[in-house]
Amino acid sequence: MSSVSSLFPETGGYVVAKFGGTSVANFDAMNSSADIVLANKEVRIVVLSASAGMTNLLIALAEGCDADKRADYLKQIQTIQDAIADRLHISDVIRQEINRLLENIKTLSETASLTTSDVLTDEIVSHGELMSTLLFTELLRQRGTDAEWFDIRKIMRTDDHFGRAEPNNTQLRILATEHLLPHLKNTLIVTQGFIGREEKGCTTTLGRGGSDYTAALLGEALNLKRVDIWTDVPGIYTTDPRVVPAAQRIDKIAFDEAAEMATFGAKVLHPATLFPAIRCGIPVFVGSSKNPQAGGTLVCDTTEAPPRFRAITLRRQQTLLTLHSLKMLHAQGFLVEIFTILSRHNISVDLITTSEVNVALTLDTTGSTSTNGSLLTNALMTELSTLCRVDVEEDLALVAIIGNQLSQTSGLGKQVFSALERFNLRMISHGASNHNLCLLVQGNDAEQIVQTLHQCLFE
């Protein structure tokens, strides 16, 4: 082990740069992203998402569709690839490999039209990242860089929870040290985000937005200097600027604040991205590949004088389960049974409130490539119904106020709830964390509530 550990000091100055779908959407976007990579000699690993729109097309194919729709989706996929490849003037070898992947998508989508599965979905969806990285590697080579395409599945070993797989960090560290570390000094590595491989050799995905997670995991495994996340906005804002144009950029933010923001809906960062960075203290920079000169947000260990209110986040597509049973009354073990069932169906709970005979739980239906937007399977509902009556409310939204020492702030309730007196708040969660106050609201009211809160707390 001493020979392995002795290599890590050499990697302390290296950076992993991740580029999202809009940053590799077409030839011009790829060229701009290449400018960013080549401008910083510390960048030695590049992690890419699929080109914008590609993953949605691949998921549509994986869900099974008739021949006409399948042909249309396949044509759209080919058009995206050809538009980039034609301007690149790629070699015959790369052209043949892209064509092989396109043919593979066609074959797999024909299988999906007969029978769908989570395993098949992950296999189909992975092709987006495989193609974008092949084209980007070729672009870097044509610009005179010694770039190497690397299949992340060689080192990203995961469990078999298809659609939202969890990586094995120990194996990743060992395999990354063996397969990547020796090349970093002289070669620029281009690899895929979002995908991995389970022990039987099947391709897995880390959930939607998992490319950020991949970059952070590689930063941790190789003890890198920084993780750069290049997206379509220049940093993290006090809320989504598309909802509130007056939103302000946050130049520096602590890990715990950013983790709360990501968890509760800030789309700039994938919720899991920060966990590896927090574990090893690697700073994360978020900037815009369209305008790198605009600066961005640095996420790091601590910040000076953190404000009472940091941001407001919004997460749509929330589901509320209300479980009613007289068995709860003065009884023990009821919640254990409920959470055992939810765990068995790979369901994680966000918020929870209880009364004598009712439990209300919120579920996040976003994130997985394999759930098709619904976590409430017939099997789950049947099993819950043996214990209690289940009421389901959908089309809700979760609005979270992110800040510091909120549970010790006098007058917080009056400040927030008086501003929102004209809205129906379906559920309130406060006190479990110093960093958030969460409100479950009607989906139709969500944007107005965010705008009202932002004006009250930030403007």
351-386 per-position pLDDT tens digit: 898 888 899 999 876 555 554 446 788 999 999 999
**Average pLDDT for residues 333-341, to the nearest whole number?**
88
Q: Supply 144's token pair.
A: 């005179």
Domains in the chain (CATH in brackets) are 15-231 (3.40.1160.10), 310-458 (3.30.2130.10)
Q: How many CB atoms lie within 10 A of CB 395?
A: 12
- Kindly state the percentage of the chain with pLDDT values over 90: 73
Helix (H/G/I), strand (E/B), else coil: 310: strand
Given the DSSP bridges, would you call strands 252-254 and 43-48 parallel, antiparallel or unpaired? unpaired
* Per-range mean pLDDT, top range of 45-59, 254-268, 335-349, 422-436: 45-59
Residue 9 — very low, low, confident or very high, per pLDDT cuts 50/70/90? very low
Q: Which residue stretches of 7-157 are H helix?
A: 27-39, 54-62, 67-88, 92-114, 118-125, 127-142
The pair of structure tokens assigned to 43 is 């960048």
Residues annotated in a binding site: 18-21, 55, 129, 231-232, 237, 242, 267-268
Which segments are annotated as binding site for substrate? 55, 129
If one counts every other C-beta atom within 10 angstroms of the C-beta of residue 199, the result is 11
Q: Give residue 434's pLDDT.
A: 85
pLDDT in tens, 91-143: 899 999 999 999 999 999 999 999 999 999 999 999 999 999 999 999 999 99
Strand (E) positions, 111-179?
147-150, 157-158
pLDDT score, position 370: 54
Q: Give the pLDDT confidence score for residue 452 in this predicted structure.
A: 97
Instruction: Give the pLDDT mean for 414-433.
Output: 91
Between CA 114 and CA 392 the distance in angstroms is 31
Q: Choose among 174, 188, 113: nearest CA to 143.
A: 188
Binding site for ATP, by residue number, is 18-21, 231-232, 237, 242, 267-268
pLDDT tops 70 at residue 148: yes
Is the pLDDT reported for residue 401 higher than 60? yes
Q: Which residue, 6, 16, 109, 120, is CA-closest to 60?
A: 109
DSSP 53: T
In the chain, the percentage of residues whose pLDDT exceeds 70 is 94
DSSP 41: T
The structure tokens listed for 293 are 């000169």
Cα distances (angstroms) measured from residue 200 to each of 167, 197, 371: 14, 8, 22
Q: What is the pLDDT of residue 175?
A: 98
Between β-strands 296-300 and 284-288, what pairing exists: parallel, antiparallel or unpaired?
antiparallel
SS3 for 173? helix
Answer whether 246's CB lies under 8 Å from 319's CB. Answer: no
Question: Region 339-348: what's the mean pLDDT?
Answer: 88
Backbone phi, psi, residue 34, to 5°: -65, -35
194 DSSP 8-state letter: S
Cβ–Cβ under 8 Å, residues 273 and 229: yes
Average pLDDT, the chain: 90
The yes-or-no verdict on residue 317 having pLDDT over 60 is: yes
